Amino acid sequence: MPRQKPPHGSREAGALPRASVSPLRRGGPGGRGVLKIAMRCYYPDEFEKLIVDHGFRVLRRWGGYAGEPYGEGPELVIQFREGVG
């Protein structure tokens, strides 16, 4: 499967994504802040290989939580279990 172009607005490798947060307090929002989140994005084939390389077996895959066919939906959903057998 060919690699897809990163989504619009994605960050360069190594950059931390930022998320705006608004903590709720009694009486309304309590201010606004920025939370740095360490995360890694994987291409679907890389993520599946990571699962298998750690001793799990892929059972099924979908393209989204609504059951879209793999490769056709907005997400990657993988069902897997322990062991190869």
In a domain, 46, yes or no: yes
In a domain, 29, yes or no: yes
The predicted model scores a pTM of: 0.52
pLDDT band at 12 (very low <50, low <70, confident <90, very high): low
3/55 Cα distance (integer angstroms): 24
Instruction: For the beta carbon of residue 56, count every other beta carbon within 10 angstroms.
Output: 16
In a domain, 7, yes or no: no
* Domain extent at residue 71: 18-82
Domain count along the chain: 1
Amino acid at 59: L
73/65 Cα distance (integer angstroms): 9
Tokens of residue 11, six digits:
């960050």
Per residue in 25-53, pLDDT (tens digit) is 665 556 666 777 788 888 888 999 999 99
In a domain, 12, yes or no: no
In a domain, 8, yes or no: no
In a domain, 10, yes or no: no
Residue 27: the pLDDT is 58
In a domain, 1, yes or no: no
In a domain, 2, yes or no: no
